[in-house]
Structure 1
Amino acid sequence: MTDNAREYSASSGAADPGQQALIERAEHVLSQDDRVLGVWLVGSFGRGTDDRFSDIDLWVVVAADAVDSFCDDWPKTSDEISPTVFRRALGPRVFNHITPDWVRFDVSVGTPDAIAGRTRSTAKPVYDPHGLSADLAAPGAPKQPDPARVEFITVEFLRVLGLLPVAIGREEYVVGESGAGLLRQMLIDLMLEDVAVEDRGGVLHLDRLLPADRQQILAGLPPLQATREAVITANITCATHFLPLARALHARCGLPWPQELETAARQHLSRTLSIDLPAQIDH
């Protein structure tokens, strides 16, 4: 391994032996490929928030004129790094893998002009013979809510909420349970939009991202069950927590609130199921 890789290994006590062995093997194999200009850990390993359950995200930089040949050769290169029980290409430059020991690693292929778009706080060098890490940007500002995503989640939440009378009226409680699960996930997604960090990472790290009060809200949501009462209760509870947060994020993003849609959904629930959602709930 390079000195950079050893420095990473010494500074991270979270990686288990299987993860560390995979990183070391990837560094050894990729450093033998003349097309490879550098390799960085990104994702949770790049941020330093990894643990023994994390997947390994490797960002491999090659010259622009070598991208196609490197990606075409990737199955063979991957086999040199580790045998896999699962390998999938997500587009032409991203590859997912699972080893027989269930070590998960993803590889994305980039070019030197993309280095300045990464930051020193989210990319850690594993193999950098040309000193390209010097081109990494300084740590970025905390991420703000994405207005388009906030708007989409809110409108979709209200649309799905308005389907509750369909599931209840048809006594399709399994369908209603699935709908409540969608609302629960959209509540989580909206909470994540309100997290101001440089790189939020994946949803499998909620405890590290959400403040204690938000975690308590999620932990206190009623269990999903395929019964009339449980489906209705889950919908009401999710809406009770979702709508105030959605309003606050719309205001922060300068977005108009979809008042007509909300009003129609409220009236629809009241008329068909005699459900009156709270007008205002602190979040």
Structure 2
Amino acid sequence: METAVQFFSRDPAVIGIFLGGSLAAGSADAFSDIDLRVVVQPDRHASYVDRRREIPKAWPGFLFNEWVPGAQHCVSHFRPFGKIDIFYYSAATLTPSPWYRLPIRIFLDPQGVVADLVEQAKGLPFTVDPDDVDFSISKGLAAAHETYRRAMRGELFFAQTLLDEMRQHIMQADDWLNDRTPESAAVAKFEHRASREVNAVLLASYRQCGADEILAALRLLVPFYRQQVMALHEKFRLPRPVANDLEALDIISFETASDRN
């Protein structure tokens, strides 16, 4: 972190450097990553985005990058297990957001740009976009169906990864249904903030890599996810037909029960 801050501070085009995530929140441990944000003058922003993969390579201990094409950030890994996630923001496009209500540590802010964002963010609520819920349900249902299909085809490793994807949507639904915001996630890992029932069903769903074991895990998760889907429909008044979603899960329950018999 010190290396990165010193590097960016030398460039007058960088007018803001601040830290987010668990380090800023005071909940970090030895394996936490570094969430660094760099605010750049508009005329130099594209240059930094273009060089986002090259800049960390010159820093001591560099191992490898991971990135998304077209994105404005890069995640860099350092030996032995260091990890820094750097987002590059253009000063021209910065707008107030509830995300700036989360704990922030400012390293550089000569023009008060970051401090102004933090001030304007006060009182802005985190809201859940129904489209995000809609998308999550579709992905959760797809993961459940694909788990069944792949297990029946004997593609067991693939089926296990799909079960994990379904678990992710169960975890997300639990946060939404209990009105947990990113502020909750910043200070408490899911295992510590989750509903007791969710923790129990997730723990019980981990099985050996065999078709019968995977189908048994699916039988355990599907009825629980069905309850969550019904609750999500009721809470967010989703336009998608609830009957279709429930039928998609009931089909799996019926088929896995038939396979067991």
**Farther-moved stretch of structure 1 (228-237 vs 262-271):** 262-271
Q: Residue 206 of structure 1 aligns with which residue?
A: 190
Relative to structure 1, is the Cα distance of residues 71 and 208 closer, same or farther in structure 2, using a 3 angstrom cutoff?
Answer: same
Displacement of 1:120: 4.3
User: What is the DSSP-based 3-state SS (H/G/I as helix, E as strand, rest coil) of the residue aligned with 1:85?
Assistant: strand
Q: Which amino acid aligns with 1:63?
A: Q
Match of 2:73 in 1: 94
The answer to which of 153-162 and 232-241 deviates more is: 153-162
Matches within 5 A, 1:246-265: 246-256=229-239, 257-263=241-247, 265=249
Alignment of 1:106-255 (within 5 A): 106-113=85-92, 114=94, 116-117=96-97, 118-136=99-117, 137-139=120-122, 143-163=126-146, 166-167=149-150, 169-170=152-153, 173-194=156-177, 195-199=179-183, 205-219=189-203, 221-255=204-238
Count of aligned residue pairs for this structure pair: 252
1:70 aligns to 2:54 (yes or no): no
CA contact (8 A) 2:37 2:88 kept: yes
Unaligned runs of 5+ in 2: none
Per-residue deviation, residues 92-132 of structure 1 (Å, max 9, x unmatched): 52121111232100111112241533524343201222222
Asked if the contact 1:165/1:273 (under 8 Å) is kept, the reply is: no
Between the aligned partners of 2:59 and 2:147, the Cα distance in structure 1 is 50
Structure 1 residue 251 displacement after superposition: 0.9
Any gaps of 5 or more consecutive residues in structure 1? Answer: 1-22, 277-283
Give yes or no for contact 1:177–1:224 (8 Å, CA) kept in 2.
no
- Go from structure 1 to structure 2 and tell me whether the alpha carbon gap of 1:149 and 1:121 turns closer, same or farther (over 3 Å shift): closer
Q: Hey, what's the Cα distance between the residues in 2 that align with 1:45 and 1:243?
A: 37
Read off the aligned partner of 2:131 and give its amino acid letter: A
Tell me if the contact between 1:144 and 1:196 (Cα under 8 Å) persists in the aligned partners. no
Specify the alignment match of 1:7 in structure 2.
none
Deviation per residue, 1:39-59 (Å, 9 max, x gap): 000233344432222110111
Identity level (%): 22
Query: Structure 2: how far apart are the matches of 1:132 and 1:254?
Result: 38
Residue 48 of structure 2 aligns with an amino acid whose one-letter code is F
Q: TM-score, normalised by structure 1?
A: 0.73
TM superposition outliers: structure 1 runs of 4+ over 6 Å:
none
Q: What is the SS of the residue equivalent to 2:4?
A: helix
Question: How many Å apart are 1:239 and its aligned residue?
Answer: 1.2
State whether residues 183 and 235 of structure 1, in contact with CA within 8 Å, keep that contact through their aligned partners in structure 2: no
Residue 243 of structure 2 aligns with an amino acid whose one-letter code is: Q
Is contact 1:177-1:225 (8 Å) kept? no
Asked whether the 8 Å contact 1:173–1:228 carries over to 2, the reply is: yes
Q: Contact (CA 8 Å) 2:73, 2:86: kept in 1 or not?
A: yes
Distance 1:104 1:248, change over 3 A: same
Q: Does the CA-based 8 Å contact 2:223-2:253 persist in structure 1?
A: no
Q: Residue type matched to 2:189 in 1?
A: H
Partner of 1:11: none
Please say if 1:274 is aligned against 2:255. Answer: no
Q: Is the 8 A contact 2:52 2:73 kept in 1?
A: no
For residue 76 of structure 2, give the secondary structure of its aligned residue in structure 1: strand
1:135 shift after superposition: 0.9
**Superposed displacement of residue 267, structure 1:** 4.5
Higher-Rg structure is: 1
Q: Is the 8 A contact 2:233 2:242 kept in 1?
A: no
What TM-score, normalized by structure 2, do the two folds share? 0.78
